[in-house]
A and B are shown apart, each in its own frame.
Chain A
Amino acid sequence: MTAVDFDVVVVGAGRAGTAAAYKLAAEDFDVALVERAKQPGMKNVTGGVLYGQILADLVPEFPEEAPLERHVVEHNIKLLHGDAEVSIGYRDMDLLEEPNYTLMLGKFDRWFVDRAVDEGAVFVPETTVRDVTQARDHAVVHTDRENGDLACHAVIGADGVNTTVGRATGIQRTMRNPDMALSVKKVIDVGRDTINERFNLDSDEGAAYIYTGFPEGAPTIGYFIYTYDEYISVGAVGGLEVLRWLGDEGYAESGTPLYSLLEEFVELDTVRPYVQGESLQEYQGILLPELSYESLPDRYDRRIALVGDAAGLVLNKGYTFRGLDYGIKSGLLAAESAIACDREGNWEAFGRRYDQWLENSYVLQDMKQHRHLPEFLKNERMYGAYPGIATETLRGMYSAGSDAQGLTWKQAYRAFRNSDAGFLDLLKDGYRGLRSL
Chain B
Amino acid sequence: MSTPNENAFISGSGIATYLDESDRGPAPKISGQTLTQDFVSLDSKKVSVINVWASWCAPCRAEAPVLQEFSINYPEVQFAGILTRDNISSAQAFYESFNLTYPTFTDDSLLLGFGGSLIPNAIPTTLIIDKQGRVAVRISGEVTVAGLKKMLEKVLSDD
Q: Do A and B form a real pair?
A: no
- Chain B positions within 8 Å of A, measured between CB atoms, are none
